[in-house]
């Protein structure tokens, strides 16, 4: 298997780490060497964390990591997972360029939290090769992945995606193609509401999370989850959902917008609803 990941941000790093701890080689593509240097450092740290947590089997050596700025280097990939920012124009450009590079029949996988797959497929030369995933972060700890079959996704793409997910140790749940699918359509408005509760002064972030964790069984609390997702990514997803559904619960609240403006994006920036030290 030749796994390629386009985008060295939070999810690109997570998906690459998942492949490496399963002993599989992976190529990560990003736009410049500075971003790739940062991505390599983050992936190295995540692989070490996975080893400490016992997610790397004793008899499996980590896979080989290659990085590049050239999409043309992905011509021999057996699967390409696009994990760029949640922006239609960015994802569309990547899928258009990828479909001119990879062999016909290679799954072009968009790891999106909210943009419909059939909408993205419009930009690929072969819409039948485009399929969606929504990996949860970090993927090496969360072994279920949401899979989205677009209206034009063919059976070959689904079979090949499933073959790769099995090799990655992931269990897939296939859902219908619609804005936000299942996880984001449920989770992201809930996080938005939790942030609005803090904004209104009803409770602090840690109090909201404590109640959600201890009373309602949410594993990490919605606002810690926001910090893990990346508040900037969350806001992008909410905007997509609001534009495509008209649901006012998806309009990003002022507190989330203010945190993005200040650069308080969560764990990756060192501060979100909570503060973090490296």
Per-residue pLDDT, 278 = 63
Q: What is the mean pLDDT of the chain?
A: 95
Q: Please, is 154 exposed, middle or buried when counting C-beta atoms within 10 Å of its C-beta (0-12, 13-18, 19+)?
A: middle
Q: Which of 33-42, 51-60, 113-122 has the lowest mean pLDDT?
A: 51-60
Task: Report whether 96 contacts 88 (CB < 8 A).
Answer: no
Task: Determine the average pLDDT of the residues in 130-143.
Answer: 94
Residue 96's nearest CA partner among 129, 134, 132 is 129
In tens, the pLDDT along 247-268 reads: 999 999 999 999 999 999 999 9
CA–CA dist 120, 109 (Å, integer): 10
Per-residue pLDDT, 199 = 98
Peptide bond into 25 cis (omega under 30): no
Reported as a pLDDT band with limits 50, 70 and 90, residue 55 is confident
CA–CA dist 81, 15 (Å, integer): 9
Reported as a pLDDT band with limits 50, 70 and 90, residue 47 is very high
* End-to-end Cα, the chain, rounded Å: 33
Reported as a pLDDT band with limits 50, 70 and 90, residue 59 is confident
β-pair partners for 67: 28
Task: Determine the average pLDDT of the residues in 41-67.
Answer: 88
Reported as a pLDDT band with limits 50, 70 and 90, residue 166 is very high
Per-residue pLDDT, 56 = 77
Two structure tokens written together for 68: 């590049």
Per-residue pLDDT, 20 = 96
Q: Which of 58-62, 92-96, 128-132 has the lowest mean pLDDT?
A: 58-62
CA–CA dist 37, 33 (Å, integer): 6
Q: E strands of 95-170, at which residues?
A: 108-111, 130-134, 144-149
CA–CA dist 64, 55 (Å, integer): 17
Say if residue 272's pLDDT is above 90.
Answer: yes
Per-residue pLDDT, 182 = 97
CA–CA dist 216, 212 (Å, integer): 5
In tens, the pLDDT along 199-241 reads: 999 999 999 999 999 999 999 999 999 999 999 999 999 999 9
Peptide bond into 275 cis (omega under 30): no
Residues across the chain: 278
Q: How far is CA 138 from CA 54, 58, 71, 176, 236, in A?
A: 14, 21, 25, 24, 19
Task: Report whether 255 contacts 197 (CB < 8 A).
Answer: no
CA–CA dist 182, 156 (Å, integer): 24
Q: Which residue has the tokens 């797959």?
A: 117
Helices (H) and strands (E) in the chain, counts: 10, 8
Reported as a pLDDT band with limits 50, 70 and 90, residue 57 is low
Task: Determine the average pLDDT of the residues in 10-35.
Answer: 95
Query: What residues act catalytically?
Result: 134
Per-residue pLDDT, 53 = 87
Give the domains, in start order, of the chain with CATH numbers: 3-176 (3.40.50.720), 184-269 (1.10.1040.10)
């Amino acid at each position: 298997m030749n796994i390629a990941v386009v985008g060295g941000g939070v999810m690109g790093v997570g998906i690459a780490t998942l492949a490496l701890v399963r002993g599989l080689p992976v190529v990560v593509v990003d736009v410049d060497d500075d971003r790739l240097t940062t991505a390599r450092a983050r992936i190295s740290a995540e692989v070490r964390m996975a080893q400490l947590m016992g997610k790397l089997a004793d008899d499996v050596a980590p896979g080989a990591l290659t990085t590049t700025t050239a999409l043309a280097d992905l011509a021999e990939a057996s699967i390409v997972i696009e994990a760029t920012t949640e922006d239609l124009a960015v994802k569309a450009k990547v899928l258009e360029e990828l479909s001119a590079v990879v062999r016909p029949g290679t799954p072009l996988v968009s790891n999106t939290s909210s943009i419909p797959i059939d909408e993205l497929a419009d930009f690929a030369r072969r819409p039948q090769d485009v399929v969606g995933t929504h990996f949860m972060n970090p993927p090496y700890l969360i072994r279920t992945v949401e899979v989205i079959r677009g209206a034009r996704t063919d059976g070959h793409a689904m079979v090949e995606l499933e073959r790769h997910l099995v090799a990655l140790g992931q269990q897939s749940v296939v859902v219908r193609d619609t804005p936000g699918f299942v996880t984001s359509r449920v989770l992201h408005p809930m996080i938005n509401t939790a942030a609005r509760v803090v904004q209104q002064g009803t409770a602090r972030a840690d109090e909201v999370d404590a109640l959600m964790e201890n009373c309602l069984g949410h594993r990490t609390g919605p606002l810690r989850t926001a910090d893990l997702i990346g508040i900037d990514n969350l806001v992008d997803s909410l905007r997509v959902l609001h534009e495509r559904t008209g649901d006012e619960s998806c309009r990003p609240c002022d507190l989330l917008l203010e945190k993005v403006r200040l650069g308080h994006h969560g764990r990756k920036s060192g501060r979100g609803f909570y503060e973090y030290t490296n």
